[in-house]
Chains A and B, each alone.
Chain A
Amino acid sequence: MTDLSPQLLLYIVTAGGLFGIGLYGFIVGPQTLRRILALNIIGAGIFMLMVVLAYRGLADDASLPSTDPVLHALILTGLVVAVSATAFALALLARLNQAKAAQCSQDQLRHKQGPGQ
């Protein structure tokens, strides 16, 4: 593995930090929405790491024309997957809430009808 310049190291540490924050949120968070967001933060951390890794090797040899294109392609794929997964999770969450609300209103209805009869 090539040596990393301090600047790259900083980015990597930041990416790691994002991952850590997300992990914490995912494990601790009681609310589902918070956990979905936490997953996105973890994802952001990983993608940032990948972006940074695409620049490795550039520090000592600046003449290289471009960064590692494979990683960029991977990030794009990853982003697509992450976005669709998030959308799916949010949709499920919305349906869960709807189901809950329906359940609640039914219960209330029954509650109201109960004493009346």
Chain B
Amino acid sequence: MMVVLLVLPLLSALFMLLWPRIAPLLALLTASVCSLVALQLLLLVSQQGSQQVLLAGWPSGLAISLEANSLSSLLILLTALLQLLVGLYAFATHRRDKLGAGFWPLSGMLQLGLTALWLSRDLFNLYVCLELLGIVAVALVSLSGDKAIKPALNYLLLSLFGSLCYLLGVAILYGAYGVLDITVLASQWQADLLSSTALLLMTLGLMLKAALWPLHGWLPAAHAAAPAPVSALLSALVVKGPLFILCLLWLQLAGATQVAAVAPWFAGCGLAALLLGGVSALRTPFAKNMVAYSTVAQLGYAMLALGLLLRFNQPLFAAALWLFVLAHALAKATCFLAVGEITATLGGKRISTLKGASQTMPLAMFAFAVAGGSLIGLPPSGGFLAKWALLQGLWLQGGQLFWLLVIVLATLLSAAYVFRAVVLAFNRADPVAPDFAPRILPQWLALLPALAVWAMALYSEPLLQLLKQEGL
């Protein structure tokens, strides 16, 4: 089943190159089949526990091994579904937005890279996935033409640098222990200077690729320059890949002393990301940049949750971490699609373009507001669930008033930037006139993930159970 999930996107990407005319059809077909298979995998895993596959019958250690636990199958499902949705959106708008033919095979490769990443438990395979993801992401960004080349190139260079740092760390670890499989490595782990250096190098590279504060500088430019469906994929999924590896490293590999040393730093970076990212989102005059900065800020929650998880080892924080990832992926997909649709229709990049959008494009604006509600953490959304888990963890831990205050501040900041846009949209005085009649289908597609993120609340109990027990 896992192999199908990997081979299918790869094959379809190849066929798309051969027959570009049926590429959209193939892409949508692949994404829907993959969604079904991923759902089946999730059911299988939740019934029978983790599944492992060794490719091509090689013995363990030599073969490329794939392991699906409930978290990774959930992430695979999310990836496939978002791919399907974004594919539909891209198909609905590709004539108007002049999306290059390259989008389809590249999105297939993106799905391959992500799926492989969620399934790998081997440091070097993870490196290959990372590199694949990075290159495909850059290629996708560069699709929007000349103005995107510069941010794309910058993104590529930093991404390559990040991967090389990670690779150096892998080389050092292999030199020291002679194994790459994370579980085996964890059993032989010694918390000495060498392993600390390697971990630090890898962390640095991953933080750069995941755009975690303070290494987030490339993200707003790159995500804002990309076409709307691409930004949605990048913000929703691609930055989560390196974050996943980071969690693997620190939760499974690192020794107790190393964890204790680094936890406050992670939490601190999360805090800075939340506050500074929020302030930047509030101040930027461009609509897509606002959404991109909001990604920086929201990744701060994940970072904060990781830091607190490492410090207190409280399963609620693990649940909060992954709930943030899931809720943010869905909400951010909606945000980018809705804002992309609005700016394309109303013609403009600035936030002031949204003026009067509640009248001219009520559906897209509604989608943005609903997704924004999840970003803020209003009940009953996925964002609220995550925040609730975080708050519960903090109160149970006791005496964490500082972090509670931070969360309150961050919530208010996110409310401020979301409602900055929403209030503008309610301005009826002089609404921006649409360049052409707004289209209904893309707006509905943008709304779907937002509805999904609010529906998450209804499945919170199984979701929390699943994520808590996994906790990586």
Contacts and interface: CB of A to CB of B under 8 A. Distances in A.
- A–B contact at 8 Å CB threshold (below): yes
A24 interface: no
B156 A88 contact: yes
Contacts of A56: 175
A30 B178 CA distance: 38
Interface string A68-102: 10110010011001001100110011011001001
B160 A53 contact: no
B128 A77 contact: yes
Contacts of A70: 62, 174, 180
A1 B124 CA distance: 20
A19 to B, nearest CB: 7
A88 B175 contact: no
A49 to B, nearest CB: 5
A102 B147 CA distance: 12
B446 interface: no
B152 interface: yes
Contacts of B25: none
Closest 10 CB pairs between A and B?
A: A53-B175, A99-B146, A96-B149, A1-B176, A92-B153, A81-B131, A50-B171, A42-B164, A46-B168, A39-B160
Nearest to A26: B161
B234 interface: no
A35 B131 CA distance: 18
A54 to B, nearest CB: 9
Contacts of A49: 168, 171-172, 175
A29 to B, nearest CB: 10
A96 B29 CA distance: 35
Given A1-B176, A46-B167, A53-B171, A92 B156 contact: yes
B149 A89 contact: no
Nearest to B170: A74
Interface string B103-141: 000000000000000000000100110010011001100
17 contacts: A1-B176, A36-B157, A39-B157, A39-B160, A43-B164, A46-B164, A49-B175, A50-B171, A56-B175, A77-B124, A81-B128, A88-B138, A88-B156, A89-B153, A92-B138, A92-B156, A102-B146
Interface in A17-38: 19, 26, 32, 35-36
Interface string B187-213: 000000010000000000000000000
B83 interface: no
A43 B160 CA distance: 10
Given A92-B152, A93-B153, A71 B164 contact: no
B135 A88 contact: yes
A39 B168 CA distance: 13
Contacts of A77: 124, 128
Contacts of A81: 128, 131
Interface residues of B, number: 31
Contact of A46 (B135, B150, B171): B171
A71 B170 CA distance: 11
A71 B135 CA distance: 23
Nearest to B177: A1
Interface of B: 62, 124, 127-128, 131, 134-135, 138-139, 142, 146, 149-150, 152-153, 156-157, 160-161, 164, 167-168, 171-172, 174-178, 180, 194
* Interface SS, A side: helix
A102 B146 CA distance: 10
A84 B62 CA distance: 25
A85 B171 CA distance: 19
A53 B152 contact: no
A96 B365 CA distance: 35
A50 to B, nearest CB: 5
Contacts of B176: 1
Contacts of A96: 149-150, 153
Nearest to A48: B171
B135 A95 contact: no
B139 A88 contact: yes
Given A26-B161, A46-B168, A71 B174 contact: yes
B160 A85 contact: yes
A46 B127 CA distance: 14
Contacts of B138: 88, 92
A89 B161 CA distance: 12
Contact of B164 (A35, A39, A74): A39
A27 to B, nearest CB: 9
Contacts of B139: 88
A68 B146 CA distance: 46
A85 B124 contact: no
Contacts of B194: 1
Given A32-B153, A36-B157, A53 B168 contact: no
Contacts of A74: 124, 174
Contacts of A99: 146, 149
Contacts of B131: 81, 85
Nearest to B164: A42
A100 to B, nearest CB: 9
Contacts of B150: 96
